[in-house]
């Protein structure tokens, strides 16, 4: 078991900057993810500065705050990689038959196998200074979608998504009378506005309007007087309201029910 120390915490933060995966970073540092979360919870209490307050990246702060900065730095590295790919493209390793293709040494081009053996070359592939083979790569052009995303982020007015909203400036409103007929809600509009409506708003002096003639608009009801409301809904007492029984299927046993008490009863 790895003993907790400030150097261990710094190693975890460094790993998270390169690989923003908690499980992988903890495994490389020799601790479990559960142990890291225990450290973070202890740091959030901010009652043990000797154990969980440290200097990392020239900043003196608690571990849980450093953890946020480390993940933020990894996100900035991802953005930097995306910028590089959008500007220059990327190199893609070539694979054939499930195997990596290796880069041939141009200096050995045209030599036969016998010539390679006589010169002491085991093969015609190019190698790094340490002797490892170099994979064959092909330069891919920048992704069009990635380039547009980058341009839209920095130049939203030019490359951002544009939504065009068009409106005539007014909405026709029709009133439904107590007799059930539809009538205009507003007085006659000026001649200029009537010409712009193109028949979408009915004239006030046209009398009753058929619903099929109104193409767009808002329909509202005609307000009633207090006497009309009293005649329609007034005069009822709490005792006249019918009791309603509610059955709770989850809580009550089969065949039982609970009745709601009327508002007038205690």
Query: What residue segments make up the domains of the chain, in order of their start?
Result: 6-76, 90-140, 173-226
* Residue scoring higher pLDDT (33 or 249): 33
Q: Do the Cβ atoms of 137 and 89 come closer than 8 Å?
A: no
- Would you list the DSSP string of 172-233? -EEEE-TTS-EEESSPPPPHHHHHHHTTSS--GGG-SB-GGG--S-EEEEPPPPHHHHHHHH
pLDDT for position 13: 94
Whole-number pLDDT of residue 118 = 82
Contact call for residues 202 and 213 (beta carbons, < 8 A) = yes
Distances (CA, A) of 55 to 7, 60, 62, 179: 10, 4, 9, 81
Q: Which residues pair with 91 in a beta bridge?
A: 139
- Using alpha carbons, select from 80, 12, 2, 73 the residue that is nearest to residue 43: 12
Of 101, 100, 93, 121, residue with least CA distance to 109: 121
Q: Compute φ and ψ for 56, nearest 5 degrees.
A: -140, 130
Average per-residue pLDDT for the chain: 75
Kindly state the tokens that stand for 146.
Answer: 């990635």
Higher pLDDT, 225 or 246: 225
pLDDT at site 149? 87
Poorest-pLDDT segment among 6-20, 96-110, 150-164, 187-201: 187-201
Cβ atoms within 10 Å, residue 172:
19
Please give the pLDDT value at position 120.
83
Q: Which pLDDT belongs to residue 207?
A: 52
In this structure, are residues 12 and 37 in contact, taking their beta carbons and an 8 Å threshold?
Answer: no
Read off the pTM.
0.47
Cα angle for residues 127, 128, 131 (degrees, 5° grid): 70
Mean pLDDT score, 19-35: 92
- Kindly report the backbone phi and psi dihedral angles of residue 252, in degrees, each rounded to the nearest multiple of 5, phi listed first: -85, 150
Q: pLDDT tens digits, residue range 151-205?
A: 888 888 888 877 666 655 555 566 666 666 666 655 555 554 444 444 444 444 4
**Exposure class string for 233-265: b at 16+ Cβ within 10 A, else e:** eeeeeeeeeeeeeeeeeeeeeeeeeeeeeeeee
Give the pLDDT confidence score for residue 241 in this predicted structure: 46
Strand partners, 133: 127
Token code pair at residue 110: 């045209």
Alpha helices, DSSP H, located in the chain: 6-18, 22-29, 33-45, 49-52, 63-88, 113-119, 144-154, 156-159, 191-197, 226-233
């Amino acid at each position: 078991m790895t003993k907790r120390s400030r150097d261990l915490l710094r190693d975890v933060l460094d790993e998270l900057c390169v690989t923003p995966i908690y499980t992988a970073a903890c495994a490389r540092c020799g601790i479990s993810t559960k142990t890291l979360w225990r450290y973070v919870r202890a740091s959030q209490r901010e009652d043990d500065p000797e154990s969980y307050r440290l200097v990392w990246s020239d900043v003196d702060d608690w571990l849980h705050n450093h953890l946020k900065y480390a993940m933020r730095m990894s996100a900035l590295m991802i953005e930097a990689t995306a910028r590089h790919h959008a500007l220059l493209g990327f190199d893609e390793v070539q694979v054939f038959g499930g195997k990596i293709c290796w880069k041939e040494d141009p200096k050995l081009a045209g030599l036969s196998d016998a010539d390679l053996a006589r010169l002491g070359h085991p093969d015609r592939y190019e190698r790094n200074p340490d002797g490892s083979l170099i994979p064959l790569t092909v330069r891919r052009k920048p992704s069009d979608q990635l380039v547009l995303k980058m341009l839209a982020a920095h130049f939203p007015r030019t490359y951002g998504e544009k939504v065009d909203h068009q409106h005539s400036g007014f909405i026709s409103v029709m009133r439904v009378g107590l007799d059930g007929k539809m009538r205009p809600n507003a007085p006659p509009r000026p001649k200029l506005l009537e010409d712009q409506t193109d028949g979408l708003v009915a004239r006030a002096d046209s009398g009753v309007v058929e619903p099929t003639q109104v193409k767009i608009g808002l329909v509202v009801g005609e307000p009633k007087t207090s006497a009309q409301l009293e005649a329609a809904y007034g005069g009822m007492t709490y005792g006249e309201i019918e009791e309603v029984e509610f059955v709770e299927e989850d809580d009550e046993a089969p065949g039982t029910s609970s009745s709601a008490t009327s508002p007038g009863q205690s």
